[in-house]
Amino acid sequence: MRTVDVLRFARDAATGYPLRTFLSVLAMAIGVAAVVVLTALGDGARRYVVEQFSALGSNLVIVLPGRSATGGFSPANALTTTPRDLTIDDAFALTRLPSVRRVAPLTAGNSEINANGRLREVVVAGTASTYLDIRSFKMAAGSFLPEGDWNRGLPVAVIGSKIKEEIFGSAPAVGELIRLGDRRLRIVGVLKSVGQGLGMNTDEVVFVPAGVAQSLFNTNTLFRILIEARSRDEIEAVKREVAAALKARHGGEEDTTVITQDAVLATFDKLLRALTAAVAGIAAISLAVAGILVMNVMLVAVTQRTGEIGLLKALGARGTTIRDAFMAEAAMLSLVGALTGYGLGLFGAFVLRQVYPVFPAYPPDWAVIAALVTALSTGLLFGIMPARRAARLDPVQALMKH
Amino acid sequence: MSLIRLAGIARVFHLGDSVVHALNGLDVSIEAGEYVAIMGPSGSGKSTLLNLLGLLDRPDAGSYRLEGRDVTTLSPDEQAAVRSLRIGFVFQSFHLVPRLTAAENVALPMMLAGIPAAERAKRVAQALKDFGLDQRADHRPDQLSGGQRQRVAIARATIMQPAVLLADEPTGNLDRATGDDVINLLEALNQRGMTLIVVTHDQKIGGRARRQLMMEDGELKFDSARQAPAAG
Ligand SMILES: Nc1ncnc2c1ncn2[C@@H]1O[C@H](COP(=O)(O)OP(=O)(O)OP(=O)(O)O)[C@@H](O)[C@H]1O
Ligand SMILES: [Mg+2]
């Protein structure tokens, strides 16, 4: 018997018994739809977290002076004092590395701000114009530090939202003069509130050009160098390039530590992936149940059509032909069920995205492929037994059952 | 060379402790083109014999040569091929596939034999015309009368142009007039050279055959070709 004829025969047999066909297709569809929707939820959660981290600058690579044994990043060690042997020239040299998009030097210290008749203790961060984009900060008013030679800073400052609030209230701050330690600086911008990040509350920081900060604190070293990689994939390349460049600049001495925020993110990513896989596994159980249902439906079909099987044998059908026809029928039930379930699952994920727009509930490709393959293979696997039973029927006995 | 040569055929069924000798030491030869009626009381082994002739069943002893070839030793697939190409079946209860149309039922043996769809359509159209069913091609079995159903079944049994047509009580489910039509149809096929073997309870129908075989308790009691009715 030709393959097209086997398929057509199986199709007609399936459509000839609409109720049982509908039920097994439905069971399979529910199984696949469950996998698709649940993995869309799980993977959506993962993407949501990753996106939140990306907003904080997940392509961030940080250089610390001194050799760290662990290399791990924690907010606590971001503020501890370390051998000061990073310079603005070191930082500037890193801007020329191929995988580096932006570099910002960072030197920090405590000082007093005196403005508008008020006095307040503040954290002063000396950096450059690039810092704004590396940290994805937004301006509430004015502009961030101007571009220019990092060593020769202009007498300007950018203040965090909380400082602006406490010193100027609702009055505009841009253009006002402040006194920072023994310096007189003009405010050129106010940051939007962002909250905690990298161990300091940015809303309570005064940003000044790196050169200004160094002369304020009477030092010529940097506290950190912040680097943004061109893409997530290039973070490792940046780590390597930066380490090599600094080693070369420091006379072959490995006296710096390069860390990434990505390490933290990777842990979250792994955790949520495992969660999604576990959820998919649970949903896959419904696929196995659907497979067993297909088997029962096919066993009923063999019993129902015993007379027909006997007839086919009398008309010259081989056992293998009958087996193939029943296998094809089981495969069709599974295939149609799986595709219907896939469609239903995609629709379910779509509804989820409409209801929760911030939540990127897309089923991951691996889950979709795994669900479809599992549906088809369970359908076929559970179709084998009924099909073989049909093929082995004794034709004389079968013909008597009519 | 006979078309069919049975020698020492036995078929035994075991039902629990009891043993049923459905066929017992049967020796029969049938020539190509013959018209044979098999008759006898219920349980005498007529259907069992027909199933053996159609390779649906295997004897427990004896040999069966079809067209000179020992067919009892063939593999199941080889037997299926013989059924497909050399044997046609007609059943008392028609055995049409209910979800298929008349045309599709007639095409079934050709589909199983792997004949291309275009060729099938041509031969089905011709057969339906020959059997006066061309207006019924797209009807399902439940939309046909008993006589029409049996004609579809006969069209199906002969579509592969088999050497022998086996009919087990083909008129058993039909009224007299319709049954006569069916018998006329079968006899017409026989006149065109097809070997015809009919199992029947009906004396009148049996009498129309050129040769009668009388069965009793699994044995051949009378063969009109030998013109020597056995005693008892
Ligand atoms: N599968 C089977 N298992 C057990 N016994 C069987 C089987 N098939 C047939 N028999 C027995 O073999 C004997 C012959 O049966 P068979 O069907 O050939 O009779 P028959 O002549 O066709 O009868 P009828 O005219 O009623 O159709 C009977 O006694 C029957 O009970
Ligand atoms: Mg019988």
The rounded distance, in Å, linking the Cα atoms of B100 and A121 is 92
Q: Does the beta carbon of B51 lie inside 6 Å of ligand 1?
A: no
DSSP structure string for A376-396: HHHHHHHHHHHHHHHHH--HH
Checking if the pLDDT of A69 tops 60, the result is no
Distance B49 CA to ligand 2 centre (A): 9
**C-alpha closest to that of A66 among A260, A193, A254, A236:** A254
The pLDDT score that the predictor gives to residue A264 is 66
> Which pLDDT band, with edges at 50, 70 and 90, does A84 fall under?
very low
State percent of chain A over pLDDT 90. Answer: 43
Query: What's the token pair of residue A110?
Result: 């405590």
**C-alpha closest to that of A372 among A327, A344, A337:** A337
The pLDDT score that the predictor gives to residue B46 is 96
For A393, which residue in chain B has the nearest alpha carbon? B56
Checking if the pLDDT of A46 tops 70, the result is yes
* A2 at interface of B, judged by CB pairs closer than 8 A: yes
Domains and CATH numbers, chain B: 4-223 (3.40.50.300)
Query: What's the token pair of residue A57?
Result: 């600058």
- The residue with greater pLDDT, A268 or B3, is B3
The model's pLDDT over B159-171, given as tens digits with 9 standing for 90+, comes to 999 999 999 999 9
- Classify residue B15 as exposed, middle or buried by CB count within 10 Å of its CB (0-12, 13-18, 19+): exposed
Report which protein residue has its CA nearest ligand 1's atom 4: B13
Residue B229 makes CB contacts below 8 A (sequence gap 6+) with B214, B221, B222
Checking if the pLDDT of A315 tops 90, the result is yes
The pLDDT score that the predictor gives to residue B232 is 42
The rounded distance, in Å, linking the Cα atoms of B142 and B98 is 7
Cross-chain residue pair A316–B56, CB shorter than 8 Å: no
Q: Is residue A122 within 8 Å of A141, Cβ to Cβ?
A: no
The model's pLDDT over B41-66, given as tens digits with 9 standing for 90+, comes to 999 999 999 999 999 999 999 999 99
Checking if the pLDDT of A120 tops 70, the result is yes
Cross-chain residue pair A13–B80, CB shorter than 8 Å: no
Q: Indicate yes or no: pTM above 0.90.
A: no
Query: What's the token pair of residue A142?
Result: 């004015």
Domain locations along chain A: 3-52+267-401, 84-254
Query: Nearest CA of chain A to the CA of B180: how many Å?
Result: 25
> Which pLDDT band, with edges at 50, 70 and 90, does A297 fall under?
confident
Checking if the pLDDT of B19 tops 90, the result is yes
The mean of the pLDDT values for chain B is 94
The pLDDT score that the predictor gives to residue A382 is 86
> Which pLDDT band, with edges at 50, 70 and 90, does A42 fall under?
confident
The pLDDT score that the predictor gives to residue A202 is 80
Distances (CA, A) of A178 to A86, A207, A208, A213: 29, 12, 12, 15
> Which pLDDT band, with edges at 50, 70 and 90, does B72 fall under?
very high
Distance B202 CA to ligand 2 centre (A): 13
What are the helix (H) ranges across A169-261? 210-216, 235-249
The model's pLDDT over B118-163, given as tens digits with 9 standing for 90+, comes to 999 999 999 999 999 999 999 999 999 999 999 999 999 999 999 9
Q: Is residue A149 within 8 Å of A204, Cβ to Cβ?
A: no
Checking if the pLDDT of A206 tops 90, the result is yes
Q: What value does the mean pLDDT take over residues A2-25?
A: 91
The rounded distance, in Å, linking the Cα atoms of B202 and B85 is 30
Ligand closest to B41 (CA) is 1
Q: Is residue A81 within 8 Å of A217, Cβ to Cβ?
A: no
Which of B86, B97, B101, B112 would best serve as a mutation to test chain A binding (most A beta carbons within 10 A)?
B112
